[in-house]
Amino acid sequence: MNLISSPDSSSSENTKPSVSKKLEDYVSSETLPIYSHSGDNAPCEKGEGDCRETEVKRALKPRHISMIALGGTIGTGLFVGIASPLSESGPVGALIAYIFIGSIVYFVTQSLGEMATFIPVTSSITVFSKRFLSPAFGVANGYMYWFNWAITYAVEIAVVGQVIQYWTDAVPLAAWIAIFWVLVTLANFFPVKFYGEVEFWVASVKVIAIVGYLIYALVIVCGGSHQGPIGFRYWRNPGPWGPGIISKDVNEGRFLGWVSSLINAAFTYQGTELVGITAGEAVNR
Please answer whether residues 73 and 264 qualify as being in contact, where contact means their C-beta atoms are separated by less than 8 angstroms: no
pLDDT recorded at residue 215: 92
Do the beta carbons of residue 137 and residue 130 sit within 8 Å? yes
Q: Which amino acid is at 236?
A: R
Q: Which of 15-24, 72-81, 140-149, 201-210 comes out lowest in average pLDDT?
A: 15-24
Q: How far apart are CA 276 and CA 134, in angstroms?
A: 19
Better-predicted residue by pLDDT, 20 or 159: 159
Reply yes or no on whether the pLDDT at 161 is more than 80.
yes
pLDDT digits (tens, 9 = 90+) for 96-145: 988 999 899 888 888 887 887 777 666 677 788 888 888 898 889 889 88
Within a 13 Å sphere around the CA of 256, how many CA atoms are in the beta-carbon half? 11
